[in-house]
A and B are shown apart, each in its own frame.
Chain A
């Protein structure tokens, strides 16, 4: 790679051990993906939940912090694995909580902002068209690339941390124009209705695309989807397909029309209602018993919180119902009485976590939760690998099923 004088100084250790590790890490990754240079980034977003980081990863971050590491661009965090105000009732261990406490201390010392959210594009600071960023969490990356027109690869925790420290990232993948052109062209005939349908559409397209280097362009949508609809579609597409970018012809900023992303030369592939229904029918059915209902992945917006609260108000849940939201939304939802509406019905709002990285396998076993119901296609996809029998339903059906104790 061709390095600037400043980057060479980092590599030589002239700017401290932490930056030396960070730039060396970025050069290794850059070489593997044929990056020629680094590109400055304006923000980084790091995943560092205790389940994936482990004791070794936390010690690694503590070491960097002890060396005086300090991030040089705004660096924020993905959801945590533990809500420190509510973990014993879930069966989460003190060891797990302690890993989280140590992570928070080490990150804070490095100047990292503990936002603990996977919806930073709704709650913290959305990136803008053409902005180069180093974001973790596949849902954050696909939304930022597609809806905002920003430029990011999937940056795992260590790489996002390295980008925060050096203020740059290797220029490969989605930072380059050539990798942002459409490679697949999908035509939608059935208009999605509700967040779950948007998630299912994302799941079908992600599964069909199936690669980090595939870029779907989608046409045939009658209306501009809302931020929450795009959020569910993108999160599911990234989860089912490792897809980091999509275009909606005439809607998203890089695809003012089909030709602008090269979609006019691609073969049309039709998404039928059978495709959507087949994906839906993979997950559970009416009358099945439910052990737990979860709203998460991605964390809920204030608008989703209001909808869940209205469905819960005055009702009594027969089975546990969990709602995961960001600390930013949580504060508002408390102030506006939405948390109270959910919790007085027997539900529980978790702050700054996401259910699937809370040691989902362990808490499922401890609490006897197998049959899990959610309106998120992403979480239903993930938890199948964690010992659950997940089922998918709309937000309204999910709450009604929590009240009934079975899928309604």
Chain B
């Protein structure tokens, strides 16, 4: 397993499968939130489902409206399991706090979008500030 130390995050410990892109994330402009897929054509994950995945991106984009959206997505059961960033923004962190959706950022080992690969099994522990890749050494 590979342990990746990060800043203390939001939410509780969760395990799941990673979906990674060297791209940014806006809950408002990148997603078809009803279908549960990335819908903006030039997003690197366009067409892919984000349901129950642990998403890994560079940073979060978008205005204040995004803060309500993770909660709304989670209430319908079509939401990511967690989101990891190199750098989160304040709005999406606030949204994660409302939704109780695990979110971590600022990894000591560097660019998280290259350290984690799509399909990796990972454990996110926001309280400890630790993400563990369990399927690789």
Contact = CB atoms under 8 A, between A and B. Distances in A.
B94 to A, nearest CB: 4
Interface string A33-62: 100000000000001110111111100100
Nearest to A27: B97
Interface string B48-92: 000000000000010111111101101110000000000011110
Contact of A56 (B9, B28, B67, B75): B75
A29 interface: yes
A56 B99 CA distance: 11
Interface in A1-57: 25, 28-29, 31-33, 47-49, 51-57
Contacts of B69: 52, 54
Given A32-B8, A47-B64, A385-B29, A158 B95 contact: yes
Contacts of B97: 25, 28-29, 32, 158-159
A156 to B, nearest CB: 2
A194 to B, nearest CB: 25
A157 interface: yes
Nearest to A52: B65
15 contacts: A29-B97, A32-B88, A32-B93, A32-B103, A48-B68, A60-B98, A154-B89, A155-B94, A156-B67, A156-B91, A156-B94, A158-B67, A158-B97, A173-B90, A212-B89
Interface residues of A, number: 35
Interface string A373-408: 000000000000100000000000000000000000
B44 interface: no
Interface residues of B, number: 30
A138 B98 contact: no
A54 B29 contact: no
Contacts of A55: 72, 75
Nearest to B88: A32
Summarize A's interface: helix, strand, loop or mixed: helix
Nearest to A141: B64
Given A33-B90, A138-B63, A239-B63, A385 B40 contact: yes
Interface of A: 25, 28-29, 31-33, 47-49, 51-57, 60, 78, 136-138, 153-159, 173, 212, 238-239, 242, 357, 385
Contacts of A33: 90, 93
A31 B129 CA distance: 11
Given A32-B88, A385-B40, A136 B10 contact: no
Contacts of A157: 64-65, 67-68
B98 A25 contact: yes
A67 to B, nearest CB: 16
